Homo-oligomer: A and B are copies of this chain.
Amino acid sequence: MSSPPAIRAGRLQDRLAAFAAIGATAKNGVNRQALTAGDRQARRLLAELGSARGFAVSQDAAANLFLRREGRDPSLPPLLLGSHLDTQPTGGRFDGALGVLAALEVLEALADAGVETPRAVEVVAWTNEEGSRFSPGCFGSRAFAAGRIDPAWENALSLDGERLGDELAATLAALTEAAMRPLGGTIAGYLELHIEQGPVLEREEIAVGAVTGIQGTRWLEIAIAGAAAHAGTTPSSFRRDPMVAAAASLHDLYGNVMPRDENARLTVGRLRAEPGSINAVPERVIFSVDIRHPDPARLDAIEAHVRRTCAHAAAAAGCRSEASILFDMPPLTFPDAMVALVEDAATRQGFSVRRMVSGAFHDALFVARVAPAAMIFVPCRDGISHNEAEDVEPRHAAAGAATLLECALAAA
C-alpha cells in the first residue's frame, strides 16, 4: 500500500521559481500581464508540466486552462483547485501563481501517492484576474460562472492598443495541444489558495486563514461645491469654503466609522481641490470614499452615514455636497461547511488557523456563484502585495499547499 499523499515543499519552490522567471523584473518581481507573450509562456509551461504527469490539458473560450486528474467516477462533477497566472505590471511572484502551483502540487502529490479520488480533481488557471491590462478583472472566472463571455468585454482595449478579443484568440491558438472544452459546466466545488495581501496573519503569527467571505465594496464620489474667493481679501465669515467641509467630513468619518466597527474599512485615496490655486479658496473639492464591509446592511448604513456627514459639514460651511456611486460589489459569504473544511484541514495538519474576511476580490468571488467555494490564505511579508517586493516564506507556501491537499482529499 502506498504512503499517504504529501506535498513536496522543494518541488513547489522550484515551480514558483520557474514561473517567477517568466516576466521577471529587475527588482525581483514579475510583469506577466494577462494575454501577453509572458502569460502564454506561463500557460505553456503549466500545460507541459501537467502533460508530463499524464493530466489531461484543456482550455475554454475564455482561455481558462485546466489540468485534470481523473477520478474513480468520471461522470461526477470535478473538484476545482486554482487561481490565476497573470500579474500586475509591477507584480510579485506569489499573487495568483502560488494558488495555481499549489493546486498542481496537490495533483502531483495525489499522483505520487497513487491515490484514487472518487471524483476528478482539476487545476485551473483563470484568465486575466488582475484586470490591469484589460478591464474588468476576474475575466475568466466571471465568464466561467456566466457560461458566456460578455461581448462588451471582448472589445476592451489595453493601454498598448490591443483588443481583448484578439489577444484571447491568439492566446488560445498558441496552445493548440490543449483540448477545447465548453465554457462553464458543473463542478463539485472550488478551492483557492492565495496570499493574504494584508498584514493580519503575519502579525498574529498564524499560518493559515480560513476565509469566511469576501467583503462588499462600494466607491462613492463626494463633490462639495462652495465659492472661489481671494485668499487675502476674503474674511472668514464671507467664505463658503468646500475644503473646510471636506476636512470636517473626513475628520468625522475617520473618527467614527472604522473605530466603531472592526469589520468596516473606509479609505480616501483621491482628493482634489478646484481650481487648485494656492492663493484662492477652492470652488469645489472632490474626493473618493472606498467603503467595505462583509455585511450588506452595514455597507448601506455606512454609505448613509458618509452621505449624511458630508451633507451636514457642507451645510455648516455654506456649501452643497453631492454623492454618487462609482462602483458597487456586494459582499459574498462562503458556505460555512466549506470554511469549516479549510479550518479542520489546517488543524489536522497542525497549523494555526483563524477565520478571516478577504479584503480583496478573487476569482472565488465569481466561482462561488455556481459552486460551493472556499479560500485558504497564507501570510505574506509585511502584508505587501501588488508590488515587486511581495514575498512569502517557503514554510507558509508549504502549509498552504498542505492544507489545500487535505481539503481536496476530504472534498474529492
**A interface residues with partner B (beta carbon < 8 Å):** 196-200, 203, 215, 217, 219, 229-236, 238, 241, 243-244, 246-248, 250-251, 254, 258-259, 262, 265, 267-273, 276-282, 285, 288, 290, 292, 326-327, 358-361, 383, 385-386
Contacts and interface: CB of A to CB of B under 8 A. Distances in A.
B262 A235 contact: yes
A269 B276 contact: yes
Copy number of this protein in the oligomer? 2
B272 A280 contact: no
Contact of A360 (B230, B270, B358, B385): B230
Given A198-B234, A233-B385, 6 more contacts: A215-B232, A230-B385, A246-B247, A247-B250, A270-B276, A270-B278
A247 B236 contact: no
Contacts of A250: 243-244, 246-247, 251
A229 B268 contact: no
A98 to B, nearest CB: 16
Given A219-B278, A272-B272, A267 B233 contact: no
Contacts of A238: 198-200, 203, 383
Nearest to A270: B276
A235 B279 contact: no
B230 A359 contact: yes
B383 A229 contact: yes
B269 A272 contact: no
Given A247-B254, A359-B234, A326 B268 contact: no
Contact of A281 (B217, B269, B385, B386): B269
Contacts of A200: 235, 238
A155 to B, nearest CB: 24
Contacts of A292: 231-232
A327 B277 CA distance: 14
Contacts of A385: 230, 233
B267 A279 contact: yes
Contacts of A197: 230, 233
Given A234-B198, A383-B234, A279 B271 contact: no
Nearest to A278: B288
A329 B133 CA distance: 49
A267 B290 contact: no
A271 B217 CA distance: 26
12 contacts: A197-B230, A215-B232, A217-B232, A229-B383, A231-B265, A231-B290, A232-B358, A235-B265, A246-B247, A267-B280, A270-B276, A271-B273
A3 to B, nearest CB: 38
Contacts of A229: 383
Contacts of A277: 269-270
A390 to B, nearest CB: 12
Which residue, A197, A217, A247, has most C-beta atoms of chain B within 10 A?
A: A247
A198 to B, nearest CB: 3
* Ranked 8 nearest A-B pairs via Cβ: A198-B233, A232-B359, A233-B359, A247-B250, A231-B267, A251-B251, A236-B258, A278-B288
A229 B385 CA distance: 9
A292 B360 CA distance: 46
B290 A278 contact: yes
A2 to B, nearest CB: 40
A360 B247 contact: no
